[in-house]
Structure 1
Amino acid sequence: MARGRNKWLSVTAALLSASLVYGLYMLQRQQLVEQETVAVLAPNRFVDAGEQLSASDLAWVRMPADAFSRDMMTDLEAAAGKETAIPLGRGEAIRDWKLNEHQLQPLSGQSTFQIPKDYVRSVSNGIRAGDRVLLYASGEGDESRRLFTQPVVVASVKSSANVEVDGLEQSHLLSMAENNKDGMYTARRDANAMIEYINLNLSEEQWLAIDRLCKGGAVKLVVAYSSHAAGRFGSESQYGGEEAERP
C-alpha cells in the first residue's frame, strides 16, 4: 500500500511540475509577444468615410513592433469623437491622417444649415467654429427643454458683416489645430464682433424638427456652449459606448 501511495505521489508531483513548467513557458511567451508587438487602435467594424468614431467602434490590436508607424493611433481619447476622412476596414490600424480633427464639414447624412435669426433667442458669445453646442427650446407657456441628446457641431459663426467671429490676437481655429488650450481660451474671451449668424451641421431630421418647432415664432432656440461637449478637450461620455480595454 505504501508503494502504491508513493507511486501516486510521484505522479502527482510530476504533473504539478509539468504544469508549473508549462505555466512559466506561457508567461514567458506572453511577455515575449508583448515585447515584440505594439498595441494600436483599429475599428471593430467597417467604417465609411464621414462617420464619427465612438469608443465602442474601436478595439486594441497587437502588431509586430517592426511594422509599427508613428502615425498609427495609440491614444483612445485622441481617436474617439473624430470623423473618418476615408473608409476604414475592420481590424485596420488607424493612422492619424485618416481622421479629421475639427469636423467643420458635415458628416455623412448631414448638411450645414444657417439658423434663421428669428429662430434664435440667444447664442452664447463664447461659441466658435468647431465647437459642439447644446440646443434648447424656449417659449412662453412651454417648459424649456433640450432638443437633441447629442451636441451638434458649429460649422461657423458670422458677424453682421459676414466675417467669422474670432479672437483679435489669437485665432481660435489655429489654437485648436495646435492643441493650444490657453490660446483657445484667449480667443473665446477676445472676439472681433458679436455673433449674428450661426451655421450648424445637422441631419435632415434635426433641421426639420427645429423648423417645425420655431417657424411659428412662439418657440425659439437657445444655443449654449458647454465645455463638456467641446470636442477632444471635453468628457469622454460624449463619444458614447464602452471604452476599449487595452490588451
Structure 2
Amino acid sequence: MNRRRNVLLSLLAAILSGLLVYGIGWMQTKEQERKGMVNVVVPNRFIGAGERLKLSDLSYKPVPGNMVTKEMLTRKETAEGMETLIPLGQGEPLYDWKVSRYTLQPGPAESTFQIPKSYIRSISNGIRAGDKVVLYLSGAEPRRLFEQTVKVASVKSSSNVEIDDKEDPNLLALADGDKEKMYASRRDANGMIDYINLNLTEEQWLEVDAACKDGTQQLVIAYSPETMQADGLGEENGP
C-alpha cells in the first residue's frame, strides 16, 4: 500500500514539475513577445487619396518587432500634415511611400488645370513642380487674385518635358529638406516654362477664367517663399 502511494506521489510530483516548467516557459515566451512589440502608426478611419493627415486621424497599433520594416512610420507627428498618395485602410500600418509632404496630386476639392498661354503675362523662371505660387492679375487694376497660395502640379517646356535638373531633381531636395540642394537644382535646370498646371478648386478656376478670357487681364505667376517655410526650409539655423 505504501509502495503504491509512493509511486502515485512521485508521479504527481513529476506532473506538477512538468506543468511548472511549462508554465514558466510560457510566461517567458509571452514576456519576450510583449517586449518585442513595437507601436506603429495606423489610420483610425478609411482615408482617401489626396487627403492631408491630422493627428486625430492616426492611432498606434502594437506589432511584433520582427514584422516591423523601416518603411513603417512609428511616430504620429511624422505623418501629421502629409498627404496620402493612395487610399489608406483603417488599422493598416502606415508606410512612408503611401504619403508625401510634397505630393503633386490635387486635394479632395481640387482638380489640376493647365493654364492657357493667353491667360499668362509672366511666370517666374524659378518655379518647379511642387512649389506654392501666388497669382496676381495684371491689367487696369492690378491685384492679387487669391489670398492663399496654390500648388504647382507641373511646369513643362515647349517640347512637353518637365523642367528640372535631371541629376538632382528639385522634388527630391524639397522632400529631404535640403535647401542648398534645392537652390542648386533650380539654378542648374534648363528650359523655359511654356506650360504650367495648377491644382485649383472649381471656384478658383472659374475666377481665373472669368478674369482672363476677354484678354483685358493676364496672370502673373510668382514663386512663394511658403514652399520653403512649409517644412521649415526657410528658417535659419539657431546658434
Cα 1:38–1:134 change in 2 (3 A) is farther
Q: Which residue of 1 aligns with 2:215?
A: 217
Verify the 8 A CA contact 1:41 1:58 in the aligned structure 2: no
Matches within 5 A, 1:97-246: 97-100=97-100, 102-108=102-108, 110-141=110-141, 144-147=143-146, 149=148, 151-167=149-165, 170-176=168-174, 180-230=178-228, 233-234=231-232
Question: In the aligned structure 2, how far is the partner of 1:229 from the partner of 1:112?
Answer: 18
TM-score by length of 2: 0.65
2:132 maps to amino acid: R
Cα 1:62–1:168 change in 2 (3 A) is closer
How many residue pairs were aligned?
199
Higher relative contact order structure (alpha carbons within 8 Å, sequence separation ≥ 6):
1
* Aligned sequence identity (%): 48
Say which SS state the counterpart of residue 89 (structure 2) adopts. coil
Cα displacement (A) at 1:177: 6.2
State which structure, 1 or 2, has the greater radius of gyration over its C-alpha atoms: 2
In structure 2, the gaps of 5 or more residues are 1-33, 234-239
Say which SS state the counterpart of residue 103 (structure 1) adopts. coil
Cα 1:70–1:164 change in 2 (3 A) is closer
Question: In the aligned structure 1, how far is the partner of 2:36 from the partner of 2:84?
Answer: 29
Question: In the aligned structure 2, how far is the partner of 1:102 from the partner of 1:160?
Answer: 25
TM-score by length of 1: 0.63
Q: Deviations over 1:165-197 (max 9, x none)?
A: 223763324545666543221011223122222
Question: In the aligned structure 2, how far is the partner of 1:72 from the partner of 1:64?
Answer: 11
Q: Which residue of 1 aligns with 2:73?
A: 73
Question: In the aligned structure 2, how far is the partner of 1:137 from the partner of 1:175?
Answer: 31
Question: In the aligned structure 2, how far is the partner of 1:78 from the partner of 1:230?
Answer: 18
Q: Which residue of 1 aligns with 2:57?
A: 58
Verify the 8 A CA contact 2:135 2:220 in the aligned structure 1: yes
Question: In the aligned structure 2, how far is the partner of 1:159 from the partner of 1:62?
Answer: 46
Cα displacement (A) at 1:91: 4.4
Verify the 8 A CA contact 1:132 1:229 in the aligned structure 2: yes
Verify the 8 A CA contact 1:81 1:231 in the aligned structure 2: no
Cα 1:54–1:84 change in 2 (3 A) is closer
